[in-house]
Structure 1
Amino acid sequence: MRKYAFWSVLCALLITASCKITTKNTDTAAEKRKQDSLEQIKKAEEAEKARPRTAADIKLEKDLQYDQHTLEETYPYKDTTRQFQLEKIKEKLAFVENFQRAPHTYGVLQNYKNRNGESPVVENFVRNAYKRVSDTLGTERYQSAPLYREENSEKPSIYGRDGSLVSLESSDTLKMVKVNGISFEGSWFVPKRYVKNIGEDLKITHVNFVDVTNQNILTVERTGENEWKIRSMNPATSGLHKPPHQMETPVGIFMVQEQKPKMFYFGDGTKTIEGFAPYASRFTNGGYIHGVPVNNPKGKIVEYSWSLGTTPRSHMCVRNASSHAKFVYDTSKPYQALVIVID
């Protein structure tokens, strides 16, 4: 009996030890699966953060802050229908989200009225319909910055339009600055005098979309990551291609650079002040978002014109109802807001 009891106790001890080893191995395997799962989740989260945003990621909701002269998303015009191109706008907003995710030192190309010196002639140039020198992409020499492929190139390859946004890739203490285009593609060298350094703290929260096909303007405000609110939807009138004085509003991405409560303008082909446009926000060359022109330098501001939202007829500028131009003027401060022109 004693012998039997001994072996019974020994078996019980061995079974207990085996159970503990099995439990320990099971716990270890479970812990490893948990760690592997957490690692996979972490990698997935990092991949999601690094993934370029697309139009599908943009949450765009209508929440108007300016509600006068408002147009619907689609609306009749004569015998056709016009619209706000919301999918194209989402694509552009995804682009804005993407370039701001990485740290940059930002700059703006500037040469309004050739204030920083007339650009050299590009290696391959043409004369456009206005008899002015332009590159083969159609950007004029006048009011533009020269873009060189190499730091010591003798001639620039193309022109960078005034108001274009770039990131600075070399010190702006040098004679030539290397830039990466944000408003345009590629890396280029630009003489320092044509580049305004606007620092590292740029956070774009306001964007004004001008549609030269549908002759309308839509403004948005960023309210969170990938989240934007539509603040206004209005008729507008863009620039007309009509040499020698009137020019179309160029398609592209531009920085608001300066503002004038009254932008006085000359009569075509003269140096005589003909009138003024109220609440003008300049974004490229002589192109402003502004209110209804007043053909009298001492006249009173006019709120609305029948021509808004019809056909191009401006001189590169974007005409709005004057109260809407003031809304843009108040919300889109220089070097803090964009004008994106789409077609």
Structure 2
Amino acid sequence: MYKKITLILMVVLMVIVPGCSAYRRSVPPSETPPPRQQSTPSGDLTKEDRLAKSDLEAVEENINGYNIEDDLRITQTTEQEEENRISCLSEEQKAQVLENIGSKRMNTVLEEYDSPLPETINASIQYFQYDMAFDYFLITAEDGAEIRENPIPDATVVDRVENLDKVSLLQRVEGEELEGSEIWYRVAFANGDEINEGYLHSTTGTPRNFRFERMQNAINQLKQQVDEGNLHFISNYKNQNGAPPQEGDAAVDEYGYRVYHSAPAYEQADTDSDFRYIPDGMLIRILEETDAFYYVNVPTFDGDYYIPKQYIDPDVTLSQLNHVVVVDRNQQNQASFEVSEQGLNLVSYTLSTTGIPGDFSFETTLGTYKAIEKRDRFEYLQSGTQDIAGYAPFAIRFTGGAYIHGVPVAYEEQDGEKVDPGLIEYLHTIGTFPRSNMCVRNFTSHVEFLYNWMDIQNGAVIVIE
């Protein structure tokens, strides 16, 4: 019997080792790859299990809701079509435009976009790569749009924007009717060193902004919870602590939370009672315990439930809140904050892309999560196969196999081997609409900043709507 098991293990190893050795990294001379690091202890394994973890366990399911090649193609096409790239103004530049703005013919101002940073948040920005105004306009017209001098259809064209471009928002105005709407948006933008402004009709895009007050409220609620006592979190990454029970064939419950990577939350201390799922990483508070269950409060759900004990490590807690990333699923942006005695310090704000629900992808679920671990990179599979398709750099895991990470990199094939073509900084689709599979996609330089900045021991990730 033992000889038979040994033989099987040897065959498995012979299959795995050649497959792993086929991956080599071809590094451009200008690029220095980040060092391979052991994952930060997550608390969801015993000490012995953590030491036994291998790099192969860092492979995740496909992290892309859409084929990443589509995002790369959109990015390349947009850049090729625009001789002069239009860009959003910085908050400081936009403030100067608003200060000197004048009225225009056929222009009735309905709203001025001048969202300030709340006085209770200190501006301590440490990342400046994509400095942009707090209020902006996302172009959704498939063929792009013309920015006009006045809010009338036949006004002089000032410049042109392409699909998924972002420009700074100044005002919402009432102008001449077009396609059944009299609403226009006055916008500002940079074209090279020149700053200009004009009008876009409401049918060409949608207003967006960084909702700092809502982010602040979410952090303050979490801080109050931590101040009241240590918080724990659900631990069932890849069902390592046991697959939860499943009713039917659905991959998610009625609230959109996945069966996989979750724990069952029972209404009674009885596995025959009704239950819902609580995802890996979600913060909870232990109220009581029985022989088999922890009775917990789940702030995200505003309810109390019984959780089987194997899904919570009582020795690993969030006892102090230092760093928080808030992801705004509705606006497709995010901000990072330091929590100090003097209040909140805004250290970065940027665009992001969250998960889309679909046949082969899941949305980024709402809630308050522990920042569980960092990985300098992790690999992901091609959908429907066990073949490794590529990797994501500078990853911070916060629930299940969901990370905040940089632009995914698909391996290229050369001479029968998978080769790393190098990091990709930018996608034009970031900050537009959900396109990933649960993960939160960032510009690579920004998530590298987060990777180095985040206090993984005392950090959290909050996803708001």
Normalising TM by the smaller chain, what interval? 0.7 to 0.9
Are positions 1:229 and 2:366 aligned together?
Answer: no
Alignment of 1:158-307 (within 5 A): 158-170=276-288, 174-199=291-316, 202-224=319-341, 227-243=343-359, 245-296=360-411, 298-307=420-429
Q: Cα 1:67–1:165, aligned 2, differ >3 Å: closer, same or farther?
A: same
Maintained 8 Å contact 1:72/1:233: no
Maintained 8 Å contact 1:146/1:156: no
Q: Separation in 2 of the partners of 1:135 and 1:155?
A: 16
Considering fraction of residues, name the structure with more helix.
Answer: 1
1:232 Cα shift? 0.6
Q: Separation in 1 of the partners of 2:314 and 2:423?
A: 35
SS of the residue corresponding to residue 338 of structure 1 reads: strand
Are positions 1:100 and 2:100 aligned together?
Answer: no
**Which amino acid in 2 is paired with 1:149?**
E
- From 145, 149, 169, the counterpart of 2:267: 149
Give the CA RMSD over aligned residues.
2.1
Are positions 1:326 and 2:448 aligned together?
Answer: yes
Structure with bigger RCO (C-alpha 8 Å, 6+ apart) = 2
**Which amino acid in 2 is paired with 1:75?**
Y
1:116 Cα shift? 1.0
Q: Separation in 2 of the partners of 1:248 and 1:112?
A: 17
Q: Separation in 2 of the partners of 1:187 and 1:58?
A: 35
**Which amino acid in 2 is paired with 1:322?**
T
SS of the residue corresponding to residue 213 of structure 2 reads: helix
Which residue of 2 is the match for residue 24 of structure 1? Answer: none
Which residue of 1 is the match for residue 209 of structure 2? Answer: 83
Are positions 1:64 and 2:125 aligned together?
Answer: yes
- CA deviation string 1:44-102 (max 9, x = no partner): xxxxxxxxxxxxx9811222011111332111211232101122112112202321222
Maintained 8 Å contact 1:70/1:232: no
TM-score by length of 2: 0.56
Q: Separation in 1 of the partners of 2:376 and 2:348?
A: 20
**Which amino acid in 2 is paired with 1:224?**
E
Maintained 8 Å contact 1:263/1:276: yes
Q: Separation in 1 of the partners of 2:448 and 2:324?
A: 15
Maintained 8 Å contact 2:127/2:449: yes
Which residue of 1 is the match for residue 239 of structure 2? Answer: 114
Q: Separation in 1 of the partners of 2:268 and 2:119?
A: 37
Larger Rg: 1
Are positions 1:136 and 2:291 aligned together?
Answer: no
Question: Would you say how many aligned residue pairs link Structure 1 and Structure 2?
Answer: 276
**Which amino acid in 2 is paired with 1:291?**
G
Which residue of 1 is the match for residue 200 of structure 2? Answer: none
Q: Separation in 2 of the partners of 1:335 and 1:156?
A: 34
- CA deviation string 1:266-321 (max 9, x = no partner): 11111111110000111112211000111116231112222211221111111111
Maintained 8 Å contact 2:373/2:398: yes
Q: Cα 1:216–1:200, aligned 2, differ >3 Å: closer, same or farther?
A: closer
1:133 Cα shift? 4.6
Alignment of 1:15-26 (within 5 A): none
1:182 Cα shift? 2.9
Which residue of 2 is the match for residue 39 of structure 1? Answer: none
**Which amino acid in 2 is paired with 1:117?**
G
